[in-house]
Structure formats: C-alpha cells, structure tokens
C-alpha cells in the first residue's frame, strides 16, 4: 500500500549516509544551480565520471542516424547493435534519457544501451530529443513519439526483430515520455506492438493534478522536498523551462483519458528519497491491481533520485546498473512466455 506505509522508504541508506558524511553532509541539489545552462555542464561531467567508474561494455557497434520529425526538423538517434547478434534475431529497445526535459543527451543512456546490446542482444536506440527552454512542451514528447514510430517502421533496416521484444524505456523525464508513448502506442495501434515498458524513477503525476482520492497517498513530494539531486526547487526550475500544459495527457500520463488497461508488461525503478516516489508506486499499483498489467518493481530505500548517476562508485549504484539489465531481461521473458 502506498502512503503512510511507505514513508520509511526515505530512511537513509547506510552506504549513502557514509558517503554524505565524507562529503561534509551535503549532496548536490540540481535546484541550487542558477540556470539550466550551468546545470548542463555539470551533468555532462557527471556522466563522464559514471562511464569512467563503471566502464564501457564492449562488443557493441554504434551509428548515428538523423531522423525526421513532423515539423521538418531532424534529431539524432544513436543506434547500438551487438557485434554478434542472437541467432534468433535481436529485440528492439528505444530509450529516452532523463534530465528534467532541459538536460542531457546521447551520453546519458550510453551505458544502459550498450549493456542491453552486450548482455541481452538488443538493438538499442538512444533518442536525442530536443530540449527546453529552446523547445518547450510538447516538442520533446512529440520527438520521442515520432522516434518510436520511426523505429517501428524501420526495424528491419536496423536488423531488429520486434517479435522478439519491442520495449520503450526512459529515466525520470524520459520515463514520463516513455509512459506517454506506451499509451499512444496502444491507442494508435502501433505496429509492430510494444511488448514492454521500462519506467525508471518516472515523473507521472504533478501535484496540481493529483485526484482527491490519491492525495492521502501522495506524500513523497512533501517528505522529500529538500532531498538531494531532485528537490522541489529543482522540479520548479525544470517546469519553469519546460512549460507543460497541465491539462494535457502528454504531460500527465497517470490520468490518461482511455485508462491503462492492456499496456504491456512494465518494469519500474523507484527511489525512496525521491519526490517522485509515490506517483511511481501508485502507478505500479494501479497497473497491477486494477488493470491486470504484469509489473516488476525494484525499490531503492533511502536513496535519492538517480543516485547511480552522481554516485557511481557506491556498491548499491553498481547493483542498480545490474538490476536494470535484469529488469529489462524480465521484459524479454514475458515475450517468450506468451
């Protein structure tokens, strides 16, 4: 049950507490940066540190492709392919990076995409959607949807076989857009159909849109408003640049007009000290209990939003990276079990 029973998930993780003490008791808060441009530089360096700490999986080929959008622009999609594809064909995964709709790029999901190729045989697409404030809502989410449709239409050219698995996934803001795309794919009958969703620390339900019946369970935003990395101040910074339409389901997939039934199996990752914790837990509960959707839920108690990115040296961060591969592997198992 989400609500009072999950408040304990914010109790600090011992390994993270030791790291905080070594850092003088204060972890970075993305809301403390003066603007998104300064923050972008910080995030690029953090990603370089993560790759250097964890390493770059080998046995993977990569190629950048320019994909046309409906407004005439082109975005870059980096395609990762296994040097030795599975004998039965490669499944396909499309990934949307995090960064509050204003940060990040192809470097964000390089590690995951390479691991999905090396360990699971995927052809992985890393989408460099356009960012706010240069491109406000709904441009980023529209880019993601059109990239997903492009992937479906060009799977054979990518040497992928979606019948082996066709997953869309995202981290944080990317998780928001992956959830949106999952609903659009169902409603618009994307062909071939998606077989799985990967929603990591997703933004799904902003506070101003919370229905009355869920307000007693929507506690993490207040509990974790001063948390490290993603504070309430950081959320406000991102939203003031993204400028979403509060009435649009392209911003609030939790309240999708046609509901959530018949979504594909969904893998969630949730952090205990994350302001977004309870909206993710609520959504997982609704999918599983009310909609009959198969779910897998990994929770990281006492850890802040996207902890593995800024603190890759922690053992729990390394475990999270491995859990990610296992979770996406679980999505493939659901295809085989149909």
Question: What span, in angstroms and rounded, lies between the C-alpha atoms of 140 and 258?
Answer: 22
CA 58 from centroid of its chain's CA atoms:
23
Cα–Cα–Cα angle for 104, 106, 112, nearest 5°? 100
Verify whether residue 274 is a known catalytic residue. Answer: yes
Verify whether residue 305 is a known catalytic residue. Answer: yes
**What does residue 51 show for φ and ψ, rounded to 5 degrees?**
-65, -40
Q: Which residues lie across from 76 on neighbouring strands?
A: 66, 128
Q: CB-based burial of residue 94 (10 Å sphere; 0-12 exposed, 13-18 middle, 19+ buried)?
A: buried
Does a cis peptide bond (omega within 30 degrees of 0) precede residue 133?
Answer: yes
On the CB side of 198, CA atoms within 13 Å amount to 27
Residue tagged active-site, from 135, 146, 183, 305 = 305
Question: What span, in angstroms and rounded, lies between the C-alpha atoms of 38 and 36?
Answer: 6
Question: What span, in angstroms and rounded, lies between the C-alpha atoms of 335 and 196?
Answer: 9
Report helix, strand or coil for 142.
Answer: helix
Verify whether residue 135 is a known catalytic residue. Answer: no
Residue tagged active-site, from 143, 161, 274, 278 = 274
Q: Which long-range contacts (CB under 8 A, 24 or more apart) does 4-8 make?
A: 4/219, 6/219, 6/220, 6/277, 6/278, 6/281, 7/219, 7/223, 8/301
Residue tagged active-site, from 97, 135, 161, 172 = 172
Give the DSSP H or E segment for 155. Answer: none
Indicate which residues carry an active-site annotation.
Answer: 172, 274, 305
């Amino acid at each position: 049950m989400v609500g009072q029973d999950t408040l304990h998930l914010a109790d600090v993780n011992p390994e993270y507490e030791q790291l905080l003490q070594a850092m003088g008791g204060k972890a970075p808060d993305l809301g403390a940066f003066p603007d998104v441009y300064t923050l972008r530089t910080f995030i690029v360096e953090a990603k370089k540190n993560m790759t250097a700490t964890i390493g770059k999986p080998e046995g993977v080929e990569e190629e950048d492709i320019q994909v046309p959008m409906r407004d005439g622009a082109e975005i870059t999609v980096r395609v990762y392919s296994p040097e030795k594809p599975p004998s039965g064909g490669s499944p396909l995964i499309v990934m949307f990076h995090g960064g509050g709709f204003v940060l990040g790029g192809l470097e964000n999901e390089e590690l995951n995409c390479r691991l999905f190729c090396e360990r699971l045989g995927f052809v992985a697409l890393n989408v460099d959607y356009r960012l706010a404030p240069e491109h406000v809502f709904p441009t980023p989410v529209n880019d993601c949807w059109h990239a997903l449709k492009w992937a479906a239409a060009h799977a054979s050219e990518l040497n992928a076989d979606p019948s082996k698995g066709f997953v869309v996934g995202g981290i944080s803001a990317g998780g928001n857009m992956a959830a949106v795309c999952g609903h659009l794919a169902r409603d618009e009958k994307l062909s071939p159909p998606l077989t799985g969703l990967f929603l990591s620390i997703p933004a799904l339900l902003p506070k101003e849109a919370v229905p009355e019946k869920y307000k007693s369970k929507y506690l993490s935003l207040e509990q974790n408003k001063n948390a490290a990395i993603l504070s309430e101040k950081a959320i406000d910074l991102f939203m003031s640049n993204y400028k979403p339409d509060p009435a649009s389901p392209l911003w609030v997939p939790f309240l999708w007009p046609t509901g959530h039934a018949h979504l594909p199996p969904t893998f969630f990752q949730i952090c205990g000290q994350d302001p977004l914790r309870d909206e993710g837990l609520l959504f997982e509960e609704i999918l599983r209990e009310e909609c009959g959707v198969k779910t897998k839920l990994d929770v990281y108690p006492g850890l802040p939003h996207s902890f593995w990115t800024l603190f890759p040296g922690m053992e729990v961060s390394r475990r999270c990276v491995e859990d990610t591969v296992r979770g996406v592997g679980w999505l493939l198992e659901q295809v085989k079990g149909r």
